[in-house]
Amino acid sequence: SLIRGGGRYNEAIKDGGIILSSAGVATIIIGALSGGWFGGFGLRVPPLAALQVFDPMVQVTTFLLIALIIGLTHVNIGVVINVVDRLKTGQVWKAISGNLWFLFIQPGLFFFLTGHKPLGYIFIVISLLLLFAGHKAMSMFQVTGFMGDILSYARLMALGLCTTGIAMTVNVLAGMLSVGGAIGTIFAVIIFLFGHLFNFVINAMGAFVHGLRLHYVEFFTKFYQSGGTEFKPLEMRFDIVDIK
Residue 32 pLDDT level (bands cut at 50, 70, 90): confident
DSSP at 180: S
| Contact predicate 167/196, CB 8 Å | yes
Half-sphere exposure of 133 (CA within 13 A, CB side): 15
CB 145 within 8 A of CB 156: no
Write the pLDDT tens digit of every residue in 182-219: 888 999 999 999 999 999 899 889 988 999 999 999 99
pLDDT at 6: 55
Provide the pLDDT confidence category of residue 5 given band limits of 50, 70 and 90: low
Counting beta carbons within 10 angstroms of the beta carbon of residue 101, is it exposed (0 to 12), middle (13 to 18) or buried (19 or more)?
buried
pLDDT of 230 reads 74
3 state SS of 114 = coil
Q: Are 96 and 130 in contact (CB under 8 A)?
A: yes
Ramachandran angles phi, psi of 241, nearest 5°: -120, 125
pLDDT of residue 37: 82
Confidence band (pLDDT; 50, 70, 90) for 238? Answer: low
Residue 14 has pLDDT above 70, yes or no: yes
What pLDDT is recorded for position 102?
A: 93
Q: Determine contact, residues 48/32, Cβ cutoff 8 Å.
A: yes
pTM: 0.81
Interval 100-131: pLDDT, tens: 999 999 999 999 999 899 999 999 999 999 99
Give long-range contacts, CB 8 A cutoff, 24+ apart: 21-25.
Answer: 23/207
Concatenate the DSSP letters of all residues of 74-113 into one string: HHHHHHHHHHHHHHHTT-HHHHHHSSHHHHHHHHHHHHHH
Report whether 167 contacts 39 (CB < 8 A): yes
